[in-house]
Structure 1
């Protein structure tokens, strides 16, 4: 075949890279969420625990999954966004199952860290069940709200779509996750619940923090969406 007749390679989009980053952030966050973190002294007002601010290690990166979720839904549409969401669901479930099997396997006689492994990663199945259910509810709602607003009112006012979808998605995600991971709904899976004042603090802080991160990163989200869209061969 002559050089003139050789096919020109088509320009590839970034869907696979965005999905890989999305799934990777989800898996890292699920492990980080096994540790609760507190900032500040103890302050109670009217039976409500205002301080310390309670969150978990997953909060460091998890809000970025919503930013990438917005990119997926805005650039690629609901079908391909849901494909990435379900891929993350399956791999997070596989991670949880793997940790469960490893935890149950007998440790080598010369390996002294079984108790440490169980204390941290032995708790992951409950965290991942909470994360998976919250993640499905939150991400699917986030993508659905973003796409439906775009279909109803057009492509303008991207900031309205991003903030509204985040408010709805993160609320569903945070409520489901907190009530299962550290609340009474997760007790059948093992482990203990934290007291209600701390749980309410944890839930409110988690939701406000995640929404705040997305609002703060709106300029970055705008630029990422524009950059990804420019690289799509179909001009998504």
Structure 2
């Protein structure tokens, strides 16, 4: 037999998949972000029209993205609490890149010539054609808010490792959501929504998102505990 025939067959080689749940959390984090970006195109109003000294108290104004976007902060809290600033920053930047890809794709599809028998160009432009501005607003607010959220949570944990988790979660949320909501509302709808209505939109969005996170604290606690238990690099901590 020849040497080539004597040699063992070469085995297929594959890279080892990432351990733990980091990849799953990042995938969910980015999915929620993209869905929220598209949903945020629609403004939603709750309640009758009520003004006090010319300031509109009602209706309460928010956008469709408010339904899911607060959950991105819960995942952001999980990432920062379990994986630290480095892991949280990596996930935030991945979400940033995916959002840019989505915005660019919608833009290119929008400007591409439609087929002769496809009569929905106006509807496409009305919804997805507005997404690039929404995504720009989301990216600016998202970067500022998520990075501040992660930074505050990590610094609080480093300063007092044995401190209460709820104080880290709420403290980081108050700072992160303030930056995120203000930047997003102004960039996305400034000039379209003005004056007291814009202030109403910002305040309602901020209070709503903070309340959602506070109400979901028990869920966040459980998710953080579950992720830690299944994270090999933390052992049984």
Tell me the TM-score normalised to structure 2 length: 0.90
1:71-82 alignment, distance < 5 Å: 71-82=78-89
Look up the match of 1:175. 182
Task: Report the CA distance shift for 1:11/1:107 in structure 2 as closer, same or farther (over 3 A).
Answer: closer
Once the two structures are superposed, the pairs formed by residues 13-92 of structure 1 within 5 Å of their partners are 13-92=20-99
Matched residue, 2:223 = 224
Cα drift, residue 230 of structure 1: 0.2
| 1:149 lines up with 2:156 in the alignment | yes
SS in 1 for 2:233: coil
Alignment partners' CA distance in 1, 2:58 and 2:72: 27
When the two structures are aligned, how many residues end up with a matched partner? 220
Q: Aligned-pair distance for 1:194?
A: 1.2
Consecutive aligned runs of 4 or more in structure 1 exceeding 2 Å deviation:
9-12
The equivalent of 1:187 in structure 2 is: none
Residues 11 and 233 in structure 1, CA contact (< 8 A), matched pair in contact too: no
Write out per-residue CA displacement over residues 72-105 of structure 1, whole angstroms, 9 at most, x where no aligned residue: 0000110011000000000001100110011111
**1:11 CA displacement:** 9.6
Counterpart residue number, 2:134: 127
Greater shift after overlay, 200-209 or 46-55? 46-55
- Measured in 2, the distance between the counterparts of 1:26 and 1:137 equals 15
Larger mean CA deviation between 154-163 and 73-82 belongs to 154-163
Aligned residue in 1 for 2:201: 202
CA distance in 2, matches of 1:48, 1:10: 55
Distance in 1 (CA, whole Å) between partners of 2:67 and 2:51 is 26
- What is residue 106 of structure 2 aligned with on the other side? 99
Q: Which residue of 1 aligns with 2:12?
A: none
Tell me how far 1:47 sits from its aligned partner: 2.2
Counterpart contact for 1:12–1:231, Cα < 8 Å: no
Q: Distance in 1 between matches of 2:194 and 2:30?
A: 32
Secondary structure at the residue paired with 2:115?
coil
RMSD: 1.4
Bigger Rg, which one: 2
Q: In the alignment, is the contact (CA less than 8 A) between 1:138 and 1:172 conserved in 2?
A: yes
1:195 positional shift: 2.4
SS in 1 for 2:38: helix
Determine the C-alpha separation between the residues in 2 that align with 1:222 and 1:10: 27
